[in-house]
Amino acid sequence: MKIVLITLAFLVSNSLFAKDSEYEYPGYEKHNINRSAPQIFLFNNEGGLLYYTEGFDPALKNAFERTVTYGKSEEIRNNIENLLQIKPDFENYEFTLFYTSYSPTVGPCPPCVKQEKILDMLKAKFNKKNISYNKILLKQPHEYVPNNIETLNTEVKGK
């Protein structure tokens, strides 16, 4: 009985602090979000982009320590809003993280699997922080869809 109560308390406390959402994007039409995976977009509670990376990032934990936003914050935020047809709720979370992954129907994506393991570890480590995790499943691989976004420069990648 104690184990059930402790588990229930843990689940309730996690649901108060973290939110997980998943969106599917078929990828047939052109859009201003690169169709590669994994990608990470980390925003602060004002909707400012703190961090962006394209590809697997084993040191993602360090991105949560950033305080400076990048000049392309508004453009990237708008691109995500247009892609998902939603307006993300940045104000009610300390951080809002969007990450892309390929749908299982596309085929295996080893870097995506590795990145999701890192994200799971971060969820456990930051379980007391109020973070919104948003997964964007790409249903078409990058090579089949024309890409109309210029590659984000090193300013946005923070390097």
pLDDT tens for 65-106 read 999 998 889 999 998 888 888 888 999 999 999 998 888 877
- Cα gap 73→111, rounded to integer Å: 25
Sheet holding 18-25, edge to edge: 18-25, 131-138, 95-102, 39-44, 49-54
Tokens for 55, please give them: 């590809």
- Say whether pTM exceeds 0.85: no
- Cα gap 78→92, rounded to integer Å: 18
Q: Where are the domains of the chain?
A: 2-157
| Residue whose structure tokens are 């453009």 | 75
- pLDDT digit string (tens) for 60-70? 999 999 999 98
